[in-house]
Amino acid sequence: MILTIDIGNTVITVGTVSKTGTHFVEHISTDTKKTDLEYAIAFRTILELYQIPSRPLTGSILSSVVPPLTAVINRALTKIIGKPALVVGPGVKTGLPIRIDNPAQLGSDMVVNAVAAAAEYPLPLILIDMGTATTLSVIDENGSYLGGAILPGAGIALDSLVNRTAQLPRISFEAPDTAIAKNTVDSMKCGIVYGNAAMLDGMIDRMEGELGRPAHAVATGDLAKAVIPHCTHPILYDEMLPMKGLYRIYMKNRTDG
């Protein structure tokens, strides 16, 4: 069993994975001010909540889009497990052919998700990750990463709308009963949920048009749960996708035989 860590701009996703599957996934807030000890305590507490002692953990792997935290959290993992984590980045084997202008520019989170999706779902595939940013990635029928799109995340868009207007309130991220809203709160819910659903449908249409054939669609990220049920395209939700990808990359790079 290994400990998997995905460091995002807003949340850090923590899980444990073994050959039998993903055992749990939890999220803690990303905080660049915390020390390695504070993160070690947070990770140890999560493991204790799930009754997983650190002794059976054979290793750890992390991906990060927050460079200042990468070394900090690696030190935290070393405190827990007794050795540094494998960090997804240059020199790490992924098995994913990347067909973009500069493969080194592809975020480690997008690599991790693509590795898992290409292995577990029919191809070609459009992969959606709705986190701080919303990303769409296209994987062709041969399992190659072709490219994609990056958009402002739904949460960022909502925060911007509230912070830059004088009268719009903070709202919960849920769909209203109708697309023709009758009040301000429902109008905002309509825009943020149905608007993002329509955006995903439109992007899938465009990407399928360029592929020249239909593609399966898979989504991950907390906000996707509220949006994809309102899409016209069938989109499968997989919360565990980052953990699955990290485990696969770990196994490709293991040196203990």
Phi–psi pair at 215, nearest 5 degrees: -135, 145
Q: Please tell me the distance from the alpha carbon of residue 13 to that of residue 161, in angstroms, as a whole number.
A: 27
CA pair distance 224, 211, nearest whole angstrom: 24
Task: For 209, list phi and psi in degrees, rounded to 5.
Answer: -60, -40
- Would you state the torsion angle of the CA atoms of residues 195, 140, 25, 197, taken in this order, to the nearest 10 degrees? 10
177 in active site? no
Cβ atoms of 196 and 227 within 8 Å: the answer is yes
Residue 66 phi, psi dihedral angles, 5° rounding: -125, 85
Q: Which of 109, 140, 222, 238 is catalytic?
A: 109
- Whether a cis peptide bond, with omega within 30° of 0, leads into 124 is yes
Q: What angle do CA 176, 178, 181 make, to 5 degrees?
A: 80
Q: Per-residue DSSP letters for 129-168?
A: EESSEEEEEEE-TTS-EEEEEEEE-HHHHHHHHHHT-SSP
For 107, residues 6+ apart whose C-beta sits below 8 A from its C-beta are 65, 135
Name the residues annotated as catalytic. 109
